[in-house]
Chain A
Amino acid sequence: MTVVEQRPAAPAAPPPRRTNRLWALLRNSWRQLTSMRTALVLLFLLAIAAIPGSIFPQRAVNAERVTQYYQAHPDLAPWLERLGGFEVYASPWFASIYLLLFTSLIGCVVPRLLDHVRALRMAPPEAPKRLERLPEHAEPFPRAGEPAEVAASVARDLRRRRWRTKVREAEDGSWTVSAEKGHLKESGNLLFHFALLAVLIGVGFGHWYGWHANRLLVGGNASGFCNTLTQYDDSTLGPRVQPADLPNFCLKLTDFDATFQSTGQPKTFLATVQVTQDGGPAETRKFTVNDPLRLGDANVYLLGHGYAPVLKYTDRFGVSQTKVVPFLPIDAMQTSEGVAQFPDVNIDPKTDKRDSTLQMGFEGRYLPTAPTDGRATSAFPAEDNPMLYLTAYRGDLGLDVGTPGSVYSLDQGQLASGELKNVSGTRPHALKLGGTWTLDDGTKLEFVGTRPFATLSVRHDPTQGLVLAGAVLGLIGLMLSLGGHRRRVWFRARRNTDLTGSSASSGGTLLAAGGLPRTDYPGFPDEFKAVVKAAEEGTP
């Protein structure tokens, strides 16, 4: 158990005056807020408030699941939205709990810090009158020498054992040694609680001044990107970050290596990139899962990978176009789905007019290793037997309407209205690597090859270091606090007046000792015995 030191009660309040009511109310509320009980209640509220975030999908974790939830529970979802159920950890009620908790924390630890500093500067307190009533005590024993000398020697010995000591002379001519140890416990405790504050501040600033963005990057020299918002698939800037603040760098994925176990489980990934920072020279860097590319003001994380088939379409007029289209993996064996859209084809070179009924779209699957049994799922994530299964559509792709469509699927509205028609039958057409598919109108699609792509997350959190430092200091404080023990021992040295012996005249000292553990400390009796034994023997 820990005995929390009682601070002296505040001096009696002056007779109540009307004007003081508000002040008193404020002061009482503050006392309430900074009490340990309130801290306990707030801790519980915090724990309970965190639960919904693990039950309902969180937008910050996975926005897609929130959309799914909306579809599954159309009645409930708007209500949850209003209550912040999809953004629990950014909701006002969650914030109000931890802000109250941290206000309480400040109100609690600042006075304790002052008390502690005072206690550190104060000498250990005077010995109680009757040492034999302390939980640990030793029968008085004789030692040679004057009381003052003995006391000084005992104190010296204790100091060597890193006790804080104070020697005092009492009115009756006896000398006392007061010694105290274990202030590190309270220091650790304060360190821990202040470190919590540092962590909270760090997290808050990180949120304000951090940013992150995602990008799917296809390998090859032609397709790099630079760190500007328009070149990302999606991005989130902290409230205090302007687009112009983003550091200046460009990335190109020159190589991507993936190795797999025979079971298809991935073994290693390695992305090789060319980086140019601030217009400097290009350098080649490599990074992988668990080991991000750390640039000065941003880190690039490798989150996933896949294949982008390279498709060459040759239209009625013999004009060809080549597109590299990333297909998104839908299972662990890299069965991937995607779409290739060719809006600017079949343009009559004579009129130079685009016929929107002749745009082409191809939708389907890519299997890096097509199984021998003809199933349409990949058997292995590496490209051992690449195969494309595609369905061709002709008509208006609906790309001009202005509504940004997905680049991974065809416009469902156009398909439903019949403006975009299936022209290859119900069974998807299988295309081997290098194969060419001649469509009903004589146009051709060639499966030229594939390129790897990597999904990257680019992030910057300026206070990550502060948060880590806070957490580590907090842990150190915690261990000091939980492992430390405050305890006191006292010695009283009196002139030995035992007249039954002959030593009365020869002087000598009678030394009594007592000890008080101020926290739960089962090892104290042994320590006390050791201290007393050392005092009995004295130091030569």
Chain B
Amino acid sequence: MAELSNQLMAAAVLAYLIAMVCYAGEYAFGKRSRIGRAAIRPVEAKQLVGAGATVPADTVPADAVPPVVVETSETPAGRDRGELVGRIAVGVNVLAVLLHLGGLVTRGVAADRMPWGNMYEYILSTTFIASAVWIGVVLARPAVRHLGLFASLALVVMLGAATMIAYTPVGPLVPALNSYWFIIHVSTIIIGSGIFLIGAVPAAMFLIRNGYDEGKRKFPYTLGKHVPAAVTLERLTFRLHAFAFPLFTFGALIAGPIWAEASWGRYWGWDPKEVWAFISWVVYAGYLHARATPSVKRTVATWIALLGFVTMLMNLFGVNLFFEGLHSYANAG
């Protein structure tokens, strides 16, 4: 079973790679595809409220009307190849997620417990959530499909890193982890972190697209040419983060302390893992604040979200490798 899990994970990584290549293919077809065209359609800066209109108290938010990506009815005669490759990419991506899920499930069966007992399994689960959420987003809103290249790239890198530096053979749980709070605490953190992780993709692409829109034409900004419109990206970023934040809050700042109280006698002890969860939480709270403050630019707010991503990586990889703490499941290898 453990062997099967490893094989499924290898297959999943391979499938992510193929999906990535397909996404890249569609990307290369650029604006010939429908998505590509939608992406570069300039956002209509609609004049929402005319002068003299007596809108009470406050102004209408400039993006109150979502920049709906209009599905143009006619695709040019002759199959739109970019479109086709894009659809294949999503298909392969779905397959990759299923393989990933299979890898997790077989791992859990092999160990006869939830597959969250050590750092390797933890990263596997978090990336699975990230990946599943990404598929959910892309199925619900095909307009953001161009992000797939970057989403699958991020997943491949993280899975590769997990396999290389954190691989751990299947083993049982230490009794300290044997508690239903273990399931509640870890599962909510994994879901929250997974969504935060994938949220960094639209965040980064928003910054790139925004730079492109401002006329920057140097390397990273050229990537912005075919991704969805900046407003779409920014809103997607916010919604993912706003969804993940309460989950993470619950997992890290409520369930975690409850369990720590029962197991170690104190609900909060500034163990390195706790410190970094706190830091991530404060940074993401900063992001939500910044975004709610009209005088703070959206780009600044989004940089804060990316900073949050860095702190999450620190929590996933760094804390486990550099520091020694009470979180025994954090031990690498």
Binding site for B on A (CB under 8 A): 1-6, 36-37, 39-40, 43-44, 46-47, 50-51, 53-55, 58, 60-61, 88-89, 125-126, 128-130, 133-135, 203, 212, 261, 263, 265-269, 288-292, 299, 301, 303, 457, 459, 461, 464, 467-468, 471-472, 474-475, 478-479, 482, 516-520, 522
* B245 contact set on A, CB distance < 8 A: 478, 482
* A292 contact set on B, CB distance < 8 A: 262, 265
* A39 contact set on B, CB distance < 8 A: 289
B42-85 vs A, Cβ < 8 Å mask (1 yes, 0 no): 00000011100111111111111110000000000000000000
Q: Complex Cα distance A397/B295, Å?
A: 72
Contacts A50-B279, A475-B246 known; A289 to B175 CB distance under 8 Å?
yes
Chain B min CB distance to A100 (Å): 14
A291-B262, A478-B246, A482-B242 known, 16 other contacts, Cβ within 8 Å: A2-B291, A43-B283, A46-B282, A47-B278, A54-B272, A54-B275, A88-B270, A128-B55, A133-B55, A134-B53, A203-B268, A263-B172, A288-B175, A290-B263, A303-B264, A519-B61
Q: Complex Cα distance A53/B276, Å?
A: 10
Interface pair B289/A43, CB less than 8 Å apart? yes
Contacts A40-B289, A47-B283, A475-B246 known; A125 to B271 CB distance under 8 Å?
no
* A479 contact set on B, CB distance < 8 A: 246
Interface pair A520/B238, CB less than 8 Å apart? yes
* A203 contact set on B, CB distance < 8 A: 268
Q: Does B293 contact A (CB under 8 A)?
A: yes
Q: Complex Cα distance A461/B268, Å?
A: 12
* A37 contact set on B, CB distance < 8 A: 293, 295-296
Interface pair B262/A518, CB less than 8 Å apart? no
A interface majority secondary structure:
mixed
Q: Does B164 contact A (CB under 8 A)?
A: no
* A468 contact set on B, CB distance < 8 A: 254, 257-258, 267
Contacts A134-B49, A289-B263 known; A266 to B58 CB distance under 8 Å?
no
Chain B min CB distance to A522 (Å): 5
Q: What 10 pairs between A and B have smallest CB-CB spacing?
A: A301-B265, A54-B275, A54-B272, A125-B56, A47-B282, A290-B179, A36-B293, A128-B54, A2-B292, A43-B286
Interface pair A516/B257, CB less than 8 Å apart? no
Candidate in B48, B270, B278 with the most chain A CB atoms within 10 angstroms: B270
Contacts A135-B64, A482-B245 known; A289 to B254 CB distance under 8 Å?
no
Interface pair A459/B258, CB less than 8 Å apart? no
Task: Give residues 108-161 of B contacting A (CB, 8 Å).
Answer: none
Which residue of B has the minimal Cβ distance to A8? B57
Contacts A40-B289, A54-B319 known; A129 to B296 CB distance under 8 Å?
no
* A482 contact set on B, CB distance < 8 A: 242-243, 245-246, 288
Q: Of the candidates A60, A129, A135, A268, which one forms a contact with B175 in the assembled complex, judged by CB atoms under 8 Å apart?
A: A268
Chain B min CB distance to A316 (Å): 47
Q: Complex Cα distance A269/B179, Å?
A: 13
Q: Does B41 contact A (CB under 8 A)?
A: no
Chain A min CB distance to B243 (Å): 8
Contacts A129-B53, A468-B258 known; A299 to B249 CB distance under 8 Å?
no
A-B contact pairs, 29 of them (CB 8 A): A2-B292, A3-B59, A40-B293, A43-B283, A43-B285, A44-B282, A47-B286, A61-B269, A61-B271, A89-B270, A128-B56, A130-B50, A133-B50, A135-B49, A135-B64, A203-B268, A268-B175, A290-B178, A290-B179, A301-B265, A303-B264, A475-B249, A475-B250, A478-B246, A482-B242, A518-B61, A520-B63, A520-B64, A522-B235
Q: Complex Cα distance A47/B314, Å?
A: 13
Which residue of A has the minimal Cβ distance to B60? A135
Binding site for A on B (CB under 8 A): 48-50, 53-66, 171-172, 174-176, 178-179, 181, 235, 238, 242-243, 245-246, 249-250, 253-254, 257-259, 261-272, 275-276, 278-279, 282-283, 285-286, 288-296, 311, 319, 323
Interface pair A135/B65, CB less than 8 Å apart? yes
Q: Of the candidates A1, A457, A467, A478, which one forms a contact with B265 in the assembled complex, judged by CB atoms under 8 Å apart?
A: A457
Interface pair A472/B254, CB less than 8 Å apart? yes
Q: Of the candidates A43, A129, A291, A520, which one forms a contact with B61 in the assembled complex, judged by CB atoms under 8 Å apart?
A: A520
Chain B min CB distance to A250 (Å): 20
* A522 contact set on B, CB distance < 8 A: 66, 235
Interface pair B57/A125, CB less than 8 Å apart? yes
Q: Complex Cα distance A203/B267, Å?
A: 10
Chain A min CB distance to B154 (Å): 23
Chain B min CB distance to A107 (Å): 15
Which residue of B has the minimal Cβ distance to A524? B64
Q: Complex Cα distance A130/B319, Å?
A: 58
* A89 contact set on B, CB distance < 8 A: 270
Q: Complex Cα distance A129/B52, Å?
A: 9
Q: Complex Cα distance A203/B290, Å?
A: 27
Q: Complex Cα distance A46/B275, Å?
A: 11
Q: Complex Cα distance A302/B271, Å?
A: 19
Chain A min CB distance to B19 (Å): 28
Q: Complex Cα distance A5/B56, Å?
A: 11
Q: Complex Cα distance A496/B243, Å?
A: 47
Contacts A54-B272, A135-B64 known; A464 to B56 CB distance under 8 Å?
no
Interface pair B270/A1, CB less than 8 Å apart? no
Chain B min CB distance to A373 (Å): 24
* A467 contact set on B, CB distance < 8 A: 267
* B175 contact set on A, CB distance < 8 A: 266-269, 288-290
Chain A min CB distance to B188 (Å): 11
Chain A min CB distance to B54 (Å): 4
Q: Complex Cα distance A288/B176, Å?
A: 10
Q: Complex Cα distance A36/B56, Å?
A: 24
* B270 contact set on A, CB distance < 8 A: 53, 58, 60-61, 88-89
Contacts A60-B269, A292-B262 known; A4 to B238 CB distance under 8 Å?
no
* B172 contact set on A, CB distance < 8 A: 261, 263, 265
Which residue of A has the minimal Cβ distance to B173? A265
Which residue of A has the minimal Cβ distance to B285? A43
* A40 contact set on B, CB distance < 8 A: 286, 289-290, 293, 296
Q: Complex Cα distance A2/B63, Å?
A: 11
Which residue of A has the minimal Cβ distance to B46? A135
Which residue of A has the minimal Cβ distance to B269? A61
Interface pair A47/B265, CB less than 8 Å apart? no
Which residue of A has the minimal Cβ distance to B295? A37
Chain A min CB distance to B269 (Å): 6
* B66 contact set on A, CB distance < 8 A: 522
Q: Of the candidates A4, A47, A88, which one forms a contact with B294 in the assembled complex, judged by CB atoms under 8 Å apart?
A: A4
* B289 contact set on A, CB distance < 8 A: 36, 39-40, 43
Chain B min CB distance to A458 (Å): 8
* B254 contact set on A, CB distance < 8 A: 468, 471-472, 475
Chain B min CB distance to A75 (Å): 22
Chain B min CB distance to A389 (Å): 28
